[in-house]
Amino acid sequence: MTRVEPESSSAFELLVVGLRFIFDLILLAVVLTVIGFFIFTDNLQRSQPEPRTADGIAVLTGGVARIDEAMKLLTQQKAKRLLITGVNRTTSTEELKQLASQGDQLFSCCVDIDKEARNTIDNATETSQWVARNHYNSVIVVTSNYHMPRALAELARVMPGVTLIPYSVVDNNVHLDRWWTYPGTTRLLISEYLKYLPALARLGATQLVSKLITGKTTVAVEDPSEP
């Protein structure tokens, strides 16, 4: 006589195979995420290469010395105008001038202040509108080194075709060398990396849609280590 296996046994085996597949996918995602984090931290800029000249400078507020570094670049005539994006609505121009060690006289002629942006996505939106109004083709992006990857991803997403030149501000309180021995730095880097991943996904999705519609993608981000 031919023995017929119960249907419940077959269903159970399929369930086990499915759960194992899902577990393997989750494990792979975790491993790739961890590897990506180490690549992320290793690629953060530890120094400030001299940027080439550009049409404009955009500085994203939120970190120590960002505005001061951006004003120095403007004083050195690295660009025509400077946008300070993400300024608190209660902050006055005089208070911003106090953050600049040089070039405060340029506020009246060459500095634009955005008080609408509340996060990096808003920073990118306001910067893209500023770039469009001024018909700029290249922008020096000034922000903290740990924040730069996310800032570039959001800016590249909304400004295809505009050359982005990163100028990373190095915060001495953020210890990138042997970061794992500094709990505060470790928490900051993990938090920034987890915010960077969705930004990278949004950029990738935008590029994919652009590729499908136009047949090409245009994202220009210069390597600051190159002359």
Give dist(CA 59, CA 82) in Å, integer. 8
Question: Does residue 213 fall inside a structural domain?
Answer: yes
Over the stretch 152-162, which tens digit does the pLDDT of each residue have? 999 999 999 89
Q: Which domain holds residue 77?
A: 56-221
Residue from 31, 36, 35, 38 nearest 200 by CA: 36
pLDDT at 227: 47
Q: pLDDT band at residue 224, thresholds of 50, 70 and 90?
A: low
Reported as a single tens digit per residue, the pLDDT across 56-109 is 999 999 877 999 999 999 999 999 999 999 999 999 999 999 999 988 899 999
Amino acid at 153: A
Domain annotation covers residue 80 = yes
Closest CA relative to residue 54, chosen from 81, 31, 27, 33: 81
pLDDT of residue 192 exceeding 80, the answer is: yes
Per residue in 81-101, is it b (16+ CB within 10 Å) or e — as a string?
bbbbbbbeeeeeeeebbebbe
- Residue percentage of the chain with pLDDT more than 70: 90
Residue 60 has a pLDDT of: 97
Number of domains in the chain: 1
Mean per-residue pLDDT over the chain, rounded: 90
Asked whether residue 159 is assigned to any structural domain, the reply reads yes
Domain CATH number, residue 161: 3.40.50
Asked if residue 30 is part of any domain, the answer here is: no
Q: Is residue 227 part of a domain?
A: no
84 inside domain = yes
pLDDT band at 223 (very low <50, low <70, confident <90, very high): low
Residue 51 in any domain: the answer is no
Which pTM value belongs to this model? Answer: 0.86
